[in-house]
Amino acid sequence: MRESKNTVMEIDDLRIRMGAPRRGGNAGSQLEGELMVADPALKPKRPPMYKVVLLNDDYTPMDFVVMVLESVFHKEHQEALEIMLQVHNKGAAVVGVFTRDVAETKAGIVVEHARINEYPLQCTVEHE
């Protein structure tokens, strides 16, 4: 009985020295003496980000583009106007950078809204 208790204690001691995760405790870290060290492999990373790009065309009304920039991308009127003119003059502009799901949802809303109104407005998503 005493022997088996000693064996268990030795195993626990070995686990601690080897830095194995403790039951109910220190997952994601290693014990080095008294110091808890975070496992770099488990450190939260920033998600990949995606640019939403608005493209120019000859038919979508300027007012419609400004309205889209205000309603979908929460731009103030003046900034929406400037972005719209940038797209109109240069052919394209990045209107925002988001996680993949958000970028694709916003681009989808823009295109769907344009199609309902029979405008050819294009909005694409690009990995940063």
Q: Please, which residue, 31 or 80, has the CB nearer to ligand TYC?
A: 80
In the complex, the smallest distance separating the C-beta of residue 62 from ligand TYC, rounded to whole angstroms, is 5
In the complex, the smallest distance separating the C-beta of residue 89 from ligand TYC, rounded to whole angstroms, is 9
In the complex, the smallest distance separating the C-beta of residue 57 from ligand TYC, rounded to whole angstroms, is 5
Question: Which residues face 123 on adjacent strands?
Answer: 54
Which residue, 117, 50, 55, is CA-closest to 83?
Answer: 55
At 50, list the tokens: 């995606």
In the complex, the smallest distance separating the C-beta of residue 95 from ligand TYC, rounded to whole angstroms, is 9
Residue 112 region, left (φ>0) first, then alpha (ψ -120 to 50), else beta?
alpha
Q: Please, which residue, 20 or 55, has the CB nearer to ligand TYC?
A: 55
Q: Are the CB atoms for 123 and 54 separated by under 8 Å?
A: yes
Q: Please, which residue, 28 or 120, has the CB nearer to ligand TYC?
A: 120
Q: Which residues bind ligand TYC (CB under 6 A)?
A: 54-58, 60-62, 65, 84, 87-88, 121
Q: Please, which residue, 28 or 108, has the CB nearer to ligand TYC?
A: 108
At 92, list the tokens: 């394209």
Element (H, E) at 63: helix 62-71
